[in-house]
DNA sequence: GGTTGAAAGTTTGTATACAAACTGTTAGCA
DNA sequence: TGCTAACAGTTTGTATACAAACTTTCAACC
């Protein structure tokens, strides 16, 4: 795991909460390296929007509810576009990838509901794989960096997520609808399917943000 | 001018042509600084997509015609969205900004055509100001970083641009149509206006890329 | 002649020292 | 008591030395 990934992980898992100040020396000591590689990682994180730098120093970025809404809107736009492009440009290999990812997804969800062995982390991971497969099928590599930037933000609240059976089944259905539209090369249906799928996720996240707002806000007082 | 801006400028102006290798020491000597700040600037440029790093070292990115097409498509999508959002969310101050930028634009074009005093650089700059005003009016600050990333790429070919009177007048008309749609809060018309405006620009750039393909390709042999 | 391998030469990656800039605290003064 | 100025402490910015990794070159061998 690179230094960049390690810091990112700490932010996404809530170990470094929003507004926490990240001094170079602290990170250098923690990751047992010098300040130079830390700086590079921090620059990268900033360009991804996970941190903000003030006149002096860097802090973990705080996202308001409005931020989340707007970022999700962009994700909807971008992934919707990716889906519509995938519908026209997908190859046989792309279809195979998407099918495989979706089969894994179905199995993971089944397993989660029936035995509880599969973790939520695992399900999120496979879901991510499917989305990546769609982006890949769009044959536009430039979309990728834009989407990673908007996808990563809601993950900050990942630790708060809570899924019920119905949500997961609903998500699986959405994937299937989307896959079908892409198979049939129906651009507009693919776009709409992706759009609604993500928009639904947006609503869930925002709903859950209301619940966690109190335990989340005290971070303001950090350092 | 920061180090980052200076290197960016050199790339956009063709001083550092595509595929040219950028060694840290070379840049450090040229900009009379040490390697440390150079590295930071290079990291930033890479995240913006202007350079690529291989196993060893960094090169100025080469964009194929396909790249330009795909990046322009993304720009169309993003700025189209920004325009539609601007139509709903713009304040009076936003409208004022857009009007001012557009008046400057009209004056600059007139001046360019009649006296030739205004430079193309200047016109591009003011055009840029208008587009920024629209993005600003969308009230979604997150769009901004995405758009700068897709806007900067075609600028690499800025030095090759050639504008005739008709193109400039056409562009001005497009701005006026867009502004009117935003004033009247017509989201869809604003989106379409922006979409067509940029798409028209895309065609021009691609057409001109055909012409310059030969003098542009020899860069392959650089270092 | 072509291929492989070792050595020399570049260039980057990391650590660290030092300078510069900012922050906060305290003492002096009104 | 409240304000200001200076000083101490902390943290970042820059330069540079050294180690590690990659490239190129040249020679020896097949």
Residue of B nearest to A46 (CA): B44
Mutate which of B3, B34, B43 to disrupt the A interface (most A C-beta within 10 Å)?
B43
Percent of chain B with pLDDT over 90: 65
Q: How confident is the model at residue B160 (pLDDT cuts 50, 70, 90)?
A: low
pLDDT of res. A219: 39
Q: Which pLDDT belongs to residue B159?
A: 60
Which helix or strand (DSSP H or E) is residue A47 part of? helix A35-47
Q: How far is Cα A105 from Cα A131, in angstroms, rounded to an integer?
A: 11
pLDDT in tens, B39-69: 999 999 998 899 998 888 899 999 888 999 9
Question: If pLDDT is split at 50, 70 and 90, which confidence band does A213 have?
Answer: low
**A52 interface with B at CB cutoff 8 Å:** no
Predicted pLDDT of residue A166: 87
Q: What is the pLDDT of residues B63-83, one digit of tens each?
A: 888 999 999 999 999 999 999
Of A84-88, A209-213, B102-106, which range is least confident? A209-213
A73 vs B: CB within 8 A: yes
Q: Is B54 left (phi over 0), alpha (psi -120 to 50) or beta?
A: beta
- CA distance to partner chain B, nearest, from residue A169 (Å): 31
CA of A8 to C1' of C23 (A): 28
Q: Which nucleotides of D are covered by protein (CB under 7 A)?
A: 11-17, 21-23
| Proportion of chain A above pLDDT 90, given as a percent | 64
User: How close, in Å, is residue B9 to chain A by CA atoms?
Assistant: 19
Given CB atoms, is A74 within the 8 Å cutoff of chain B? yes
Q: How far is the CA of A5 from the C1' of C12 (A)?
A: 21
Looking at residue A83, its pLDDT comes to 98
The per-residue pLDDT for A220 is 37
Q: For chains A and B, what is the number of CB pairs under 8 angstroms?
A: 54
User: What's residue B133's pLDDT?
Assistant: 97
Tell me: pLDDT of B223 over 50: no
Could you give the domains of chain A?
A: 3-62 (1.10.10.10), 65-217 (1.20.120.530)
- A-chain CB neighbours of B78 within 8 Å are 77
* A146 to chain B: closest CA residue: B146
**Higher-scoring residue by pLDDT: B214, B149:** B149
Q: Is the pLDDT of residue A215 over 70?
A: no
With an 8 Å Cβ cutoff, is A91 touching chain B?
no
SS3 string of B58-120?
EEECCCCHHHHHHHHHHHHHHHHHHHHHHHHHCCHHHHHHHHHHHHHHHHHHHHHHHCCCCCH
Within 8 A of A150 by CB-CB distance, chain B residues are 142
Q: What's the gap in Å between the CA of B140 and the closest CA on chain A?
A: 6
Q: Compute φ and ψ for B58, nearest 5 degrees.
A: -125, 140
Average pLDDT score over chain B: 89
Segment of A51-55, B73-77, B161-165 carrying the highest mean pLDDT:
B73-77
Q: Tell me the three state secondary structure of residue B49.
A: coil
CA of A19 to C1' of D4 (A): 32
Q: What is the pLDDT of residue B141?
A: 95
pLDDT at B171: 92
For A106-128, how does the pLDDT look when each residue is reduced to its tens digit (9 = 90+)? 999 999 989 988 888 888 889 99
Nucleotide nearest B35, CA–C1', reads D15
CB A154 within 8 A of CB A68: yes
Average confidence score pLDDT of chain A: 89
Q: Is A89 on the interface with B (CB under 8 A)?
A: no
Parallel, antiparallel, or unpaired: how do β-strands A58-60 and A51-53 relate? antiparallel
pLDDT band at residue B215, thresholds of 50, 70 and 90? very low
């Amino acid at each position: 795991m690179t230094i960049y990934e390690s810091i990112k992980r700490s932010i996404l898992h809530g170990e470094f909460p929003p507004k926490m100040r990240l001094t170079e020396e602290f990170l250098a000591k923690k990751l047992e390296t010098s300040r130079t590689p830390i700086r590079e990682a921090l620059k990268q994180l900033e360009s991804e929007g996970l941190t903000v730098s003030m006149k002096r120093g860097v802090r973990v970025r705080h996202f308001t509810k409005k931020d989340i809404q707007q970022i999700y809107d962009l994700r909807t736009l971008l992934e919707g576009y990716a889906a519509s492009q995938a519908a026209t440009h997908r190859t046989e290999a792309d279809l195979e990838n998407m099918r495989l990812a979706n089969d894994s997804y179905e199995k993971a969800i089944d397993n989660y509901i029936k035995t509880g062995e599969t973790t939520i982390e695992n399900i999120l991971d496979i879901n991510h794989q499917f989305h990546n497969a769609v982006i890949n099928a769009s044959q536009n590599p430039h979309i990728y960096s834009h989407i990673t930037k908007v996808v990563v933000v809601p993950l900050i609240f990942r630790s708060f997520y809570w899924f019920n059976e119905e949500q997961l089944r609903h998500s699986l259905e959405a994937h299937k609808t989307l896959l079908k539209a892409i198979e049939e090369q129906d651009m507009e249906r693919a776009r709409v399917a992706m759009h609604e799928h993500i928009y639904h996720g947006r609503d869930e996240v925002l709903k859950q943000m209301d619940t966690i707002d109190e335990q989340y806000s005290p971070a303001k007082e950090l350092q």
